[in-house]
Amino acid sequence: MAAVPETHAHVEPGAPIVRITALKKSYGSNQVLKGIDLEVARGEVIAIIGKSGSGKSTLLRCINGLEEFQEGSLTVDAKPLLHDSAMAMRELRQRVGMIFQSFNLFPHLSVGRNVMLAPTLVKKRNKTEAEAQARKLLARVGLAEKFDAMPDQLSGGQQQRVAIARALAMEPAVLLCDEITSALDPELVGEVCAWWSRWPMRA
């Protein structure tokens, strides 16, 4: 029998990468998520649409473990979210990337260093490899020439594209995007969305 990597030994083929069952989340007496069921297949791109305050960001924050929920279950790659286990949460965050509406680039690091930081620190990738990967990703988001620029020398849309490249550099299994195109100009929104829909197949 072929060896199965331990982390995947219990995962049925074709199992959803994210499985959410009867998830409930309240802030005090304000119940925001009232029993969410959602399955996302590997490679699938889905959009969550709803009015302001309906809980979209809250749901995304639950998926990457930034928020605790009161009821229901949530698994990523068949692993349940265990808020009590620091190690499990660290592993989860390596597999689940998130990009926000505000870019949150590190202001004291160049664009290239922003993209290289997590792979070198967390994945222990060597500097040469991390730099090559960062240059490739920056080229993909149309910013090849900005490798040495500082974030405050970039437009908002350019900063967001750096944030996208930075998230992709961790090669996440799940990428959560919270209204990431709201600061981009219209041509770029189309470009980013088209690019997005091709991304999972290449990963």
Ligand X SMILES: Nc1ncnc2c1ncn2[C@@H]1O[C@H](COP(=O)(O)OP(=O)(O)OP(=O)(O)O)[C@@H](O)[C@H]1O
Residues that bind ligand X (CB under 6 A): 27, 30, 32, 50, 52-58
C-beta of 53: minimal distance to Mg ion in Å?
8
- Under the binding rule (CB under 5 A), the answer on residue 58 touching Mg ion is no
Nearest-angstrom CA–CA distance, 5 and 95: 16
| Residue 54 near which of Mg ion, ligand X, none (CB within 5-8 Å, type-dependent) | ligand X
58 interface partner picked from Mg ion, ligand X, none, CB below 5 to 8 A per type = ligand X
Whose Cβ is closer to Mg ion: residue 129's or residue 179's?
Answer: 179
Q: Residues 9-44, buried b or exposed e (16+ Cβ, 10 A)?
A: eeeeeeebbbbbeebebeeeeeebbeebeeebeeee
Q: Which does 42 bind (CB under 5 to 8 A by kind): ligand X, Mg ion, none?
A: none
Instruction: With residue 197 as reference, give the H or E element that holds it.
Output: helix 186-202
**50, two tokens:** 């709803």
CB closer to Mg ion out of 101 and 120: 101
Residue with tokens 């990428």: 175
Q: Which does 114 bind (CB under 5 to 8 A by kind): ligand X, Mg ion, none?
A: none
Cβ burial of 175 (10 Å; 0-12, 13-18, 19+) is buried
Shortest CB 58 distance to ligand X, Å: 3
Please tell me whether residue 57 binds Mg ion under the rule CB under 5 A. Answer: yes
Positions that interact with Mg ion (CB under 5 A): 56-57
